[in-house]
Structure 1
Amino acid sequence: MRAVVFVTEETSKGTERSPQEYADPLLVLTGEAYAALSFGELHRRLCDALRDDGSRRPRD
């Protein structure tokens, strides 16, 4: 499964490694983790990430 990446309009695209990567995505999940999440848990994680102070949590 592929990764699932959530970004906002302000998320910078392009890293030194690849122009297709996002420099600081809001939330990144493996395909397996995404498939296993309930909608409520996904919503909570996205809301937490939006409220975050800028230090991103570890990726799943």
Structure 2
Amino acid sequence: MARRERRPRQHLPGIADLRIAADEATTALVVEVLRREFNITDPEPYDSGYSYLRLDTGNTAGDPGDD
């Protein structure tokens, strides 16, 4: 079986890329807990068994003009 084409990864300040290696029920529980404290994307399951999501930790970059 050929591997799926991967989307280019983007890296932004304050964004964490997470990979969860768990069954569907455990992944749902982890996502529920993360949603209580953070803005996150819906987990995207891959054929490998991992689920990937992004978590917004807040922008850590300084604002332009702040000296």
Same fold (TM over 0.5): no
TM-score, scaled to structure 2: 0.33
Higher relative contact order (CA 8 A, sep 6+): 2
Q: Which has the larger radius of gyration?
A: 2
Higher strand share: 2
